[in-house]
Chains A and B, each alone.
Chain A
Amino acid sequence: MPARVLLVEDTPTQAEMAKIMLRDFGHDMQHAETGAQALAMAQEWQPDAILVDLMLPDFSGIELMRRLKAAKVDATCIVLTAHGSVNTAVEAMREGATDFLLKPYAAARLRVTLDNALEKRALRKELDTARTELGRESFGGFIGASPAMQAVYRTLESVAASKATVFITGESGTGKEVAAETLHKASPRKNKPFVALNCGAIPRDLLESEIFGHVKGAFTGATENRLGAAKSADGGTLFLDEIGEMPMEMQVKLLRFVQSGTVTPVGGTRAEAVDVRLVCATNRDILAEVQAGRFREDLYYRLYVVPVALPPLRMRGEDVLLIARHLLRNFAREEGKHFQRFDEEAEAAIRAYPWPGNVRQLQNVLRNAVVLHDGEVVTRAMLPGLLLHGAPAMAPAATPAAAPVSATPGTMPIEPLAVSEKKLILAALEHTGQDVPRAAALLEVNPSTIYRKLTAWKKEA
């Protein structure tokens, strides 16, 4: 496979020889004669491999490698050296060179050395990518390493560079605005404005003016021209939260904006071009809203280009603890408290609770605990009773699809709680066809609780 190879060699004869060989191998090649030139070209061109002569007119090849490293140029470096400087070549390897070639070198030798170095680099990159994709514990404003969040990170990352409209769905408190901001910051528009507007929080009469602006005298109280959110976000990202709350008459205007890329301020006559990346979000089932006639189908298809579904906290496994620890550190710092960690029981309670209000609820609970208590360790007793005893109302997405399994109290045998618990879990699993998440929803527990119990019973057996 053709690679980008930068040759750093100041002696024309040697450079000419290397160029001939590299072209013969089918690689794209550029040539620098000095260290400074090589550094500039490497930053601009981002080569896969750099062949570095150790003695350059301005500074040494080793110094060049240090500067490349500092400039975060991710290329494999092969050092070119004469017989007399093998020790220096070894030093260069310590500085990060992948290999070295003794001059003069035959074409076959260069090919093998270069191929090996490129292959090693490709494998390392693959490994880095896999590690990054599988093991990220955070991304942008998100904390979380669960598979569900890795999928979200991948989607946000993939779509960041494009201008495609992103439609974020998720229960309240799952981080829809965080997702929109993360997308903006990962995009080429990051240095332009990010403007967020909550369509559900603005009176319907003001919504058009908030989005598209108004001209002086457009309505009572419009004493000056005002830029709307769309114009303010020009060149950047416009985030419309709770888009499902937008009145129908406003949906028509939004559709026109999306189709034409122009805005006409309220009371204005001239349409102005605006370059924004649109990100929308809702906690409603938007397709159901379309079917119910509350959301325009044509607008739905315009906006629902790249969907991003944010998972509820209860479906994110151990993420709840990662987030809780992160929040505890932040809140303790903000409130001037000394909390550093949770004890085991507190962690178990946090893990077991289904968090119908998601991260926002977790924030509130932990803020409350930090404000009301002090010490180094958050104990179970410091958490609200709701977490310890209460049966929380499940969030909409977890509403059981089927009727709960019922039992008549009068006919129930009295037996150890653990036995009843096991029976109940097994009955729920049988009822749902061994579907653990659904069974968990029916029992109003975290699926991880069921998995943990099943593992324990297996061990007992």
Chain B
Amino acid sequence: MSALDPEVANQLAEDLPPDVFRTIISTFEEDLTRLAQELAAAAQAGDQQGYERAAHSLAGAAAAVGAVGLEREARIAMDHRQPEPPHVILPRLLNEAKAALQALHALIH
């Protein structure tokens, strides 16, 4: 399955001037790094609220650039019923994040 929703991501790449698109990807990358750290730290500290909040922000950022796989995993993480525990969901989430970034960088080139 592709890491990106082609409709959203391709449209961004086509509609936005290259430098603006690069800025968006760069901002997204910074968001990913920060939110992934917050997510891991909250999970380790047992901070449920912080964990859900970071997952929510991650889902929003992912949705904005069409990173559907990452958004899906983040939404599972932000579900307060916690269908899957952090130690299960976090590795999958990080993999999706890497895949999304790679796909987005590919669009720049």
Q: Inside 8 A of A103's CB, which chain B residues have their CB? A: 60, 63-64
Task: Tell me if A95 counts as interface (CB < 8 A to partner B).
Answer: no
Give residues of chain B (40-61) contacting chain A, Cβ–Cβ below 8 Å.
53, 56-57, 59-61
B59 touches A82 (CB 8 A): yes
B66 CB contact (under 8 Å) in A10, A12, A104: A104
**Cα-based distance from A53 to B24 in the complex (angstroms):** 19
Task: Tell me if A107 counts as interface (CB < 8 A to partner B).
Answer: yes
Pairs across A and B, CB under 8 Å, 28 listed:
A11-B31, A11-B60, A11-B61, A12-B27, A12-B30, A12-B31, A13-B31, A13-B60, A13-B61, A13-B64, A14-B60, A14-B61, A16-B23, A16-B24, A16-B27, A17-B64, A20-B16, A53-B60, A55-B56, A82-B56, A82-B59, A82-B60, A103-B60, A103-B64, A104-B63, A104-B66, A106-B11, A107-B15
Task: Tell me if A410 counts as interface (CB < 8 A to partner B).
Answer: no
Q: Inside 8 A of B31's CB, which chain A residues have their CB? A: 11-13
* A102 nearest CB across to chain B (Å): 9
Task: Tell me if B65 counts as interface (CB < 8 A to partner A).
Answer: yes
B65 touches A13 (CB 8 A): yes
**Cα-based distance from A53 to B31 in the complex (angstroms):** 17
Give residues of chain A (28-67) contacting chain B, Cβ–Cβ below 8 Å.
53, 55, 57
B24 touches A17 (CB 8 A): yes
Q: Inside 8 A of B108's CB, which chain A residues have their CB? A: none
Encode contact with A along B12-35: 1 for CB under 8 Å, 0 otherwise: 000110001001100110110000
Q: Inside 8 A of A82's CB, which chain B residues have their CB? A: 56, 59-60, 63
| Total residues of chain B contacting the partner, CB 8 A | 23
Can you add 18 more A-B contacts, CB < 8 Å, to A13-B65, A16-B23, A17-B24? Answer: A11-B31, A11-B57, A12-B61, A13-B27, A13-B64, A14-B61, A16-B24, A16-B27, A17-B64, A17-B65, A20-B16, A20-B24, A55-B53, A55-B56, A103-B63, A103-B64, A104-B8, A106-B11
**Cα-based distance from A14 to B62 in the complex (angstroms):** 9
Task: Tell me if A221 counts as interface (CB < 8 A to partner B).
Answer: no
Closest to A107 in B: B15
Q: Inside 8 A of B24's CB, which chain A residues have their CB? A: 13, 16-17, 20
**Cα-based distance from A13 to B78 in the complex (angstroms):** 18
Q: Inside 8 A of B28's CB, which chain A residues have their CB? A: 13
The count of A-to-B residue pairs whose CB atoms sit within 8 angstroms is 51
Q: Inside 8 A of B16's CB, which chain A residues have their CB? A: 20
A10 CB contact (under 8 Å) in B57, B65, B75: B57
Q: Inside 8 A of B15's CB, which chain A residues have their CB? A: 107
A14 touches B20 (CB 8 A): no
Interface of B, secondary structure class, is helix
Q: Inside 8 A of B75's CB, which chain A residues have their CB? A: 84
* A395 nearest CB across to chain B (Å): 71
Encode contact with B along A92-118: 1 for CB under 8 Å, 0 otherwise: 000000000001101100000000000
Q: Inside 8 A of B20's CB, which chain A residues have their CB? A: 20
**Cα-based distance from A117 to B17 in the complex (angstroms):** 28
Q: Inside 8 A of A20's CB, which chain B residues have their CB? A: 16, 20, 24
Encode contact with A along B76-102: 1 for CB under 8 Å, 0 otherwise: 001000000000000000000000000
Closest to A54 in B: B56
Q: Inside 8 A of B60's CB, which chain A residues have their CB? A: 11, 13-14, 53, 82, 103
**Cα-based distance from A14 to B23 in the complex (angstroms):** 12
Q: Inside 8 A of A84's CB, which chain B residues have their CB? A: 75, 78
Closest to B35 in A: A11
**Cα-based distance from A14 to B56 in the complex (angstroms):** 12
Q: Inside 8 A of A53's CB, which chain B residues have their CB? A: 60
* A261 nearest CB across to chain B (Å): 54
Q: Inside 8 A of A55's CB, which chain B residues have their CB? A: 53, 56-57
Give residues of chain A (1-34) contacting chain B, Cβ–Cβ below 8 Å.
10-14, 16-17, 20
Q: Inside 8 A of B11's CB, which chain A residues have their CB? A: 106
**Cα-based distance from A84 to B59 in the complex (angstroms):** 11
A104 CB contact (under 8 Å) in B30, B56, B57, B64: B64
* A10 nearest CB across to chain B (Å): 7
**Cα-based distance from A106 to B8 in the complex (angstroms):** 8
Closest to A16 in B: B27
